[in-house]
Amino acid sequence: MTTQPAKRITDIGPPHYDQMLHPVIKENYGKWKYHETLKPGVLCHVSETGQKIYSVRAGSPRLLSIDTIRWYADLADKYCKGYLRFTSRNNVEFLLDDPKLIDPLIAELNQNGFPVGGTNNAISNIVHTQGWVHCHSSATDASGIVKSVMDELHPYFISEKLPAKCRVALACCLNMCGAVHCSDIAILGIHRRPPKPKHDILGKTCEIPTVVASCPTGAIRPATVDGKQSVEIVEAQCMYCANCYTVCPSLPMNDPLNDGISIWVGGKVSNARSAPAFSKLAIPFIPNNPPRWPEVVEAVKNIVEVWAKHARKFERIGEWIDRIGWKRFFELTGIEFTKHHIDDFKHAGLTYHTSAHLRF
Amino acid sequence: MTTQPAKRITDIGPPHYDQMLHPVIKENYGKWKYHETLKPGVLCHVSETGQKIYSVRAGSPRLLSIDTIRWYADLADKYCKGYLRFTSRNNVEFLLDDPKLIDPLIAELNQNGFPVGGTNNAISNIVHTQGWVHCHSSATDASGIVKSVMDELHPYFISEKLPAKCRVALACCLNMCGAVHCSDIAILGIHRRPPKPKHDILGKTCEIPTVVASCPTGAIRPATVDGKQSVEIVEAQCMYCANCYTVCPSLPMNDPLNDGISIWVGGKVSNARSAPAFSKLAIPFIPNNPPRWPEVVEAVKNIVEVWAKHARKFERIGEWIDRIGWKRFFELTGIEFTKHHIDDFKHAGLTYHTSAHLRF
Amino acid sequence: MADTKYETPMLDELESGPWPSFIKELKKVAPRKPMVQDLLGQLEQSYEEGQGHWKHGGIVGVMGYGGGVIGRYSDLADKFTNCAHFHTIRVNQPAGWFYTSKALRTICDIWERHGSGLTNMHGSTGDIVLLGTTTSELEPTFAELTANGFDLGGSGSDMRTPSCCVGKARCEWACYDTMALTYDLTQSFQDALHRPAFPYKFKIKSAGCPNDCVASIARADLSIIGTWRDDIRVDQEGVKAYEKAGLNIERDVCGRCPARCMEYSGKLMIDNRACVHCMHCINAMPKALRPGVDTGATILIGSKAPIVQGALLSSVLVPFMKIEPPYQELKDLIEKMWEWRDENGKSRERIGELIQRMGMRNFLPAVGLEPNPDMVFHPRANPYVFYDEYFVAEEEGEAQA
Amino acid sequence: MADTKYETPMLDELESGPWPSFIKELKKVAPRKPMVQDLLGQLEQSYEEGQGHWKHGGIVGVMGYGGGVIGRYSDLADKFTNCAHFHTIRVNQPAGWFYTSKALRTICDIWERHGSGLTNMHGSTGDIVLLGTTTSELEPTFAELTANGFDLGGSGSDMRTPSCCVGKARCEWACYDTMALTYDLTQSFQDALHRPAFPYKFKIKSAGCPNDCVASIARADLSIIGTWRDDIRVDQEGVKAYEKAGLNIERDVCGRCPARCMEYSGKLMIDNRACVHCMHCINAMPKALRPGVDTGATILIGSKAPIVQGALLSSVLVPFMKIEPPYQELKDLIEKMWEWRDENGKSRERIGELIQRMGMRNFLPAVGLEPNPDMVFHPRANPYVFYDEYFVAEEEGEAQA
Ligand code: SRM
Ligand code: SRM
Ligand code: SRM
Ligand code: SRM
Ligand code: SF4
Ligand code: SF4
Ligand code: SF4
Ligand code: SF4
Ligand code: SF4
Ligand code: SF4
Ligand code: SF4
Ligand code: SF4
pLDDT, one tens digit per residue, over C348-370 is 999 999 999 999 999 999 999 99
Residues B61-98 as b or e (16 or more Cβ within 10 Å = b): bbbbbbbbbbbbbebbbebbbbbbbbbbbbbbbbbbbe
Residues D207, A270: Cα–Cα separation, whole Å: 10
What integer pLDDT is reported at residue A6 of this predicted model?
Answer: 60
* pLDDT beyond 70 at D1: no
Q: What is the pLDDT along chain B (360 residues), one digit of tens a residue?
A: 455 556 789 999 999 999 999 999 999 999 999 999 999 999 999 999 999 999 999 999 999 999 999 999 999 999 999 999 999 999 999 999 999 999 999 999 999 999 999 999 999 999 999 999 999 999 999 999 999 999 999 999 999 999 999 999 999 999 999 879 999 999 999 999 999 999 999 999 999 999 999 999 999 999 999 999 999 999 999 999 999 999 999 999 999 999 999 999 999 999 999 999 999 999 999 999 999 999 999 999 999 999 999 999 999 999 999 999 999 999 999 999 999 999 999 999 999 999 999 999
| Residue of minimum CA distance from atom 27 in ligand 3 | B177
Phi, psi at C169, each rounded to 5°: -65, -35
Q: How far apart are CA C393 and CA A26, in angstroms?
A: 61
* Conformation bin of residue C215: beta by default, left when phi > 0, alpha when psi is -120 to 50: left
Phi, psi of C142 (to 5 degrees): -60, -45
Residue B245 three-state SS = helix
The model's pLDDT over C140-184, given as tens digits with 9 standing for 90+, comes to: 999 999 999 999 999 999 999 999 999 999 999 999 999 999 999
Contacts of A76 (CB under 8 A, 6+ apart): A82, A83, A84, A94, D99, D100, D101, D104
* Whole-number Å distance between alpha carbons of D366 and D357: 15
Are D114 and D70 a contacting pair, CB within 8 Å? no
Chain C and chain D share a number of CB contacts under 8 A equal to 14
- The answer to whether D181 and D224 have CB atoms below 8 angstroms apart is yes
Per-residue pLDDT tens over the stretch B29-63: 999 999 999 999 999 999 999 999 999 999 999 99
CA distances from B256 to B189, D348, D392, D393 (A): 12, 46, 10, 9
- Per DSSP, the three-state class of A138 is coil
Q: What does the DSSP assignment read for D251-287?
A: IIIGGG-TT--EEESSSEEE-TTT-----HHHHH-TT
Are C120 and B63 spatial neighbours (Cβ–Cβ below 8 Å)? Answer: yes
Cα–chain center distance at C249: 34
Q: What is the pLDDT of residue A179?
A: 78
Which residue in chain B is spatially nearest to C259 when comparing CA positions? B273
pLDDT score of D4: 67
pLDDT of residue C399: 45
The C-alpha atoms of residue D47 and residue D26 are separated, in whole angstroms, by: 15
**Cα A63 to chain centroid, rounded:** 14
Query: From atom 51 of ligand 4, which residue's Cα is the shortest distance away?
Result: A135
On whether any CB of chain A is under 8 Å from the CB of D358, the answer is no
User: H or E stretch including B210?
Assistant: helix B208-214
* Residues of each domain in chain C carrying CATH 3.30.70.2500: 9-147
The CATH 3.30.70.20 domain(s) of chain D lie at: 233-290
Three-state secondary structure readout of chain C: CCCCCCCCHHHHHHHCCCCCCHHHHHHHHHHHCHHHHHHHHHHHHHHHHCCCCECCCCCCCCCCCCCCEECCEECCCCCCHHHCECEEEEECCCHHHEEEHHHHHHHHHHHHHHCCCEEEECCCCCCEEEEEECHHHHHHHHHHHHHCCCCECCCCCCECCCEECCHHHCCCCCCCCHHHHHHHHHHHCHHHHHCCCCCCCECEEEECCCCCCCCHHHHCCEEEEEEECCCCEECHHHHHHHHHCCCCHHHHHHHHCCCCCEEECCCEEECCCCCCCCCHHHHHCCCCEECCCCEEEEEEECCECCCCCCCECCEEEEEEECCCCCCHHHHHHHHHHHHHHHHHCCCCCCHHHHHHHHCHHHHHHHHCCCCCHHHECCCCCCCCCCCCCCCCCHHHHHHHC
Q: What is the pTM for the complete model shown?
A: 0.96
Average pLDDT on D171-188 reads 98
**Banded pLDDT at D395 (limits 50, 70, 90):** confident
Which class is domain C9-147?
A: alpha beta
Cβ A140 under 6 angstroms from ligand 5: no
| Contact state of A271 with B355 under an 8 Å Cβ cutoff | yes
Nearest 10 degrees: Cα torsion D380, D386, D389, D394: 90
Give the nearest partner residue to B65 out of C28, C43, C135, using CB atoms: C28
Rounded to 5 degrees, what angle do the CA atoms D198, D200, D203 make?
A: 95
φ, ψ for residue B85 (rounded to 5)? Answer: -150, 170
How, if at all, do strands C87-91 and C69-70 pair? antiparallel
Residue D82 confidence class, pLDDT cut points 50, 70, 90: very high
Distances (CA, A) of C112 to A95, A147, B360, C29, C41: 93, 85, 62, 9, 21
CA D172 to ligand 11 centroid distance, Å: 8
| Spatial contact of B170 and B127, defined as CB atoms under 8 Å apart | yes
Strand partners, B342: none
DSSP-based helix, strand, coil % in chain D, nearest 5: 40, 15, 45
Express as a percent the part of chain A with pLDDT over 70: 98
The whole-angstrom separation of Cα A99 and Cα A42 is 10
ipTM of the complex: 0.96
* Cβ neighbours for B171, distance < 8 A, ≥ 6 positions apart: B128, B129, B142, B177, B178, B179, B180, B186, B187, B188, B189, C305
Q: List CB contacts of D401: < 8 A, sequence separation 6 or more.
A: none
As a whole number of angstroms, the distance between CA A188 and CA A296 comes to: 10
Residue type, C70: I
**pLDDT at residue B4 in the model:** 53
Q: Do C311 and B181 touch (CB under 8 A)?
A: yes
Most B CBs within 10 A among D385, D386, D392, hence the mutation to make, goes to D385
Q: D386 at the B interface (CB within 8 A)?
A: yes
- Look at residue A4 in the predicted model and tell me its pLDDT: 53
CATH architecture for segment(s) D163-226+297-375: 2-Layer Sandwich (3.30)
Q: Average of pLDDT values for D133-149?
A: 97
Mean per-residue pLDDT of chain C: 96
The answer, yes or no, to whether any atom of ligand 11 lies below 6 A from the CB of D207, is: yes
Residue of B181, B268, B357, B359 to mutate, interface with A, max A Cβ within 10 Å: B357
**Chain C residues within an 8 Å CB radius of D311:** 381-382
D390 burial type by CB count under 10 A (0-12 exposed, 13-18 middle, 19+ buried)? middle
**Can you name the CATH fold of C233-290?**
Alpha-Beta Plaits (3.30.70)
Cβ contact, residue pair D190, A113, below 8 Å: no
Select from B67, B132, B241 the Cβ nearest to the Cβ of C29. Answer: B67
Interface test with chain A among B268, B319, B346, by most A beta carbons within 10 Å: B346
Residue in D211, D219, D280, D283 to alter for ligand 11 test, most ligand atoms within 8 A of Cβ: D211
- Cα separation, D286 vs C270, in Å, equals 35
Q: What's the pLDDT tens digit per position in D42-76?
A: 999 999 999 999 998 778 999 999 999 999 999 99
